[in-house]
Amino acid sequence: MDSADANQDATPKRRVILLGSERRPEVLHEAERLKPLVEDCAEVVGTDFSFSQDLSSLQADLAIVLGGDGSILRAAHQMGRQQLPTIAVNLGKVGFLADISPDELPHVLREFCAGRLSVVEHLMFECCVLREGAEPREELGLNEVAVQAGPPFAIVDIDLYVDSELVTTYSCDGLIVCTPVGSTAHSLSAGGPILRKDLQAFVISPISPHTLTNRPVVDSADRVYEMVVAGPRDDTSVVVDGRVLSTLAPGDRVRVKRAAARFKLVAAPGHSYYRTLREKLGWSGRLKFA
């Protein structure tokens, strides 16, 4: 055995955790099929297919998530402020983040373990609901914060402040503050722009604004954003990455700012930003006639 082979054998294997949703039978099937292939070049130190474990203190080098973008969001929440590099394997429908196929995983993993792939860090945020006389309610997020009117689904007035300066009062069904990663989610459905995922910015998108001149705004991630609903309804809520953080009372302030943590996505070869948009959004570049 030459010295190069000896050094390679002496290098400890990367420690990997496998994540996904057991509610989807194909996830468990693919995990069972792929695990031996993963173990060829890495050590599997944990699995969680119920999204129930706290992963913030787990000693690992990499997370492999099987599923769709929803599974990626749940995994990011599990990792908390100790984000691991993540390989996202698409078993969902669209998958802007989870964009490699199961058959690509062994090659991508080998390339990562050999140090030949980069890790792209993405903006995350901290959302805090401030209420006088109560402990703040806080949540780390990756996609978006949405203040939603709730039943009986009438328009509400939402004041937006940026760095403590009043920007405007939106009369709308809700207001979204999202990251570039979240710009292809709820914000896009509300008419917001698509931001390149590594930009350091937030998008503010009103949902069905009463004033047609209210349009989405893009601003720096270094600013602090606050939303206040003067007259919330019983079910007016703050929703972080699809999960209700809190209902709102009069005087509550919803504060959104850049988090110290970053979501770390392994850049798979051959999966560029614009290729993903073309394939996921069906951008063909020409009209098709029957």
Using DSSP's 3-state secondary structure scheme, residue 19 falls into: strand
69 is catalytic: yes
266 and 112 Cβ atoms separated by less than 8 Å: yes
Using DSSP's 3-state secondary structure scheme, residue 9 falls into: helix
The beta strands (E) that lie in the chain are given as: 14-20, 42-48, 62-67, 86-90, 119-130, 137-141, 144-148, 156-162, 165-172, 174-178, 201-207, 217-220, 225-229, 237-240, 243-247, 253-266
- Considering 69, 173, 241, 252, which one is annotated as catalytic? 69
175 and 205 Cβ atoms separated by less than 8 Å: yes
Cis amide prior to 85 (ω within 30 degrees): no
3-state helix, strand, coil in the chain (%, to 5): 20, 35, 40
Which positions are annotated as active-site residues? 69
